Chains A and B, each alone.
Chain A
Amino acid sequence: MSLLSPLFLLGLMGIALPIWLHRLQTHATEREKFSSIMFMEQSQQRIHIRRKLKYLVLMALRILFLLMLVLAFTRPVFFVAPQGLVSENTTHHVIVMDTSFSMREGNSFVQAQIEAEAILATMSPDDIASLYIASGSVETINPATADPAMIRASLSNLEPDVGRLDIGAMIASLDTLIESSQANFVIHFISDYQQSAQAVRFADMIPDVINGRPVNLEIHQVKIDNVPNWTLASIDVTGLQEIRVGVVNNSEDAQSAEKTFTLLVNDLEQQTLTQTVSVPAGGIAYITIDNVVFEDGDNRLDISMTPNDSLADDDRRHGVFDNSPPAPVILLSADPDSLASTYISTALETAPRGYEVELQNINDFDPRILERYPWIIIDDIGSVNEILAQELRIYVDGGGAILALAGERSAAQQTVPVGGQNISGGLGYSRNTAYSVQRVNSSHPVLGRSVGWNNLNISRVVPVEAGDNDNVLISLSNDIPFLLEQTIGLGRFLLLNTQLDKNWSDLPVKPLFVGFMAEAARHLSNEEQLVREQIVNSFLQLGQNGGASGQVYDPEGNRLLSLADTTQAQNILLDETGFYRISTLGGDVLVAVNPDPRESNLILMEAQALQNWQNMVANSAGALMVVDGEAVSVVDEEPVALEVWRVLLVLLAVIVLSESLLGNRYLRFNTGSS
Chain B
Amino acid sequence: MIELGNTDNKNSPTRLLDPGVLSSLSNLELVAKSVVEGFVLGLHRSPKYGFSQEFVEYRPYTEGDDPRHIDWNVYSRTDKTFIKLFKGETNSHLMLLLDTSASMGFGNGNISKLKYGKYLAASLAYLSSRQHDAIGAMVFNNEIIEFRPPTSRSGTLHSVIHLLDKAEAVQGTSLEKPFTRFREHVKKRGLVAVISDFYCRPEDLQENVQPLSSHGQDVILFHMLDPGEMSPQIKESTLYEDMETGEAIEVSPVFMKQDYPARVKAHIASIQKAAQGMNADYVLLDTSQPLDRALHAYLTFREKRA
Contacts and interface: CB of A to CB of B under 8 A. Distances in A.
Interface in B253-302: 255-256, 259-260, 263-264, 267
Contacts of B105: 35
Interface in A39-63: 39-48, 50
Contacts of A674: 233-235
B186 interface: no
Contacts of A41: 249, 251, 255, 259
B241 A39 contact: no
Contacts of A46: 250
A32 B240 contact: yes
Contacts of A32: 238-241
Nearest to B259: A41
Given A41-B259, A46-B250, A35 B236 contact: no
Contacts of A35: 103-106, 113, 197, 199, 226, 229, 242-244
Contacts of A47: 236-239, 250, 252
B2 interface: no
Nearest to B201: A38
B266 to A, nearest CB: 8
A104 to B, nearest CB: 82
Contacts of B260: 39-40
A673 B264 contact: no
B234 A34 contact: no
B267 A39 contact: yes
A40 B264 contact: no
A42 B106 CA distance: 21
Given A672-B234, A673-B233, A36 B252 contact: no
A648 B259 CA distance: 52
A50 B250 CA distance: 11
Given A33-B243, A34-B106, A673 B250 contact: no
A669 interface: yes
B251 A42 contact: yes
B247 interface: yes
A33 B249 CA distance: 10
Contacts of B252: 43-45, 47
Contact of A37 (B104, B113, B249, B267): B249
A36 B244 contact: yes
A44 to B, nearest CB: 7
Overall SS of chain A's interface: loop
Contacts of B103: 35-36
Contact of A40 (B106, B236, B251): B251
A201 interface: no
Nearest to A672: B238
Interface in A613-641: none
B4 interface: no
A43 B267 CA distance: 21
A44 B235 CA distance: 16
- Which range contains the number of A residues in contact with the other chain? 20 to 34
Contacts of A31: 239-241, 248
Contacts of A38: 199, 242
A454 to B, nearest CB: 99
A37 to B, nearest CB: 4
Contact of A34 (B104, B241, B263): B241
Given A35-B197, A36-B103, A673-B233, A42 B250 contact: yes
B50 interface: no
Interface string A1-38: 00000000000000000000000000001111111111
Interface in B193-235: 197, 199, 226, 229, 232-235
Contact of B264 (A30, A33, A37, A39): A39
B291 to A, nearest CB: 20
Interface in A643-674: 669, 672-674
Given A41-B251, A42-B249, A45-B252, A33 B244 contact: no
A674 B248 CA distance: 19
A644 B9 CA distance: 70
A669 B251 CA distance: 15
B80 to A, nearest CB: 62
A169 to B, nearest CB: 71
A46 B237 CA distance: 9
A49 to B, nearest CB: 9
Contact of A33 (B104, B106, B259): B106
Given A41-B259, A43-B255, A34 B237 contact: no
B241 A33 contact: yes
A272 to B, nearest CB: 100
A325 to B, nearest CB: 94
A46 B113 CA distance: 30
A34 B259 contact: no
Interface in A123-180: none
Given A46-B250, A672-B234, A30 B241 contact: no
Contact of A36 (B199, B233, B239, B251): B199
A379 to B, nearest CB: 101
Nearest to A674: B235
A41 to B, nearest CB: 6
Contacts of B104: 35
A38 B105 CA distance: 16
B249 A40 contact: yes
Interface centre among A37, A46, A672 (most CB of B within 10 A): A37
A30 to B, nearest CB: 7
A35 B249 CA distance: 13
A50 B249 CA distance: 14
B251 A673 contact: no
Contacts of A37: 240-242, 245, 247-249
Contacts of B238: 32, 47, 672-673
A46 B252 CA distance: 9
Interface of B: 103-106, 113, 197, 199, 226, 229, 232-245, 247-252, 255-256, 259-260, 263-264, 267
Nearest 6 pairs of A and B residues by beta carbon: A35-B106, A47-B237, A35-B103, A673-B234, A39-B263, A43-B252
15 contacts: A31-B239, A31-B248, A34-B232, A35-B104, A35-B197, A35-B199, A36-B197, A37-B241, A37-B247, A39-B260, A40-B255, A41-B249, A672-B234, A673-B238, A674-B233
Given A35-B104, A43-B237, A674-B235, 4 more contacts: A31-B239, A34-B243, A37-B241, A669-B236
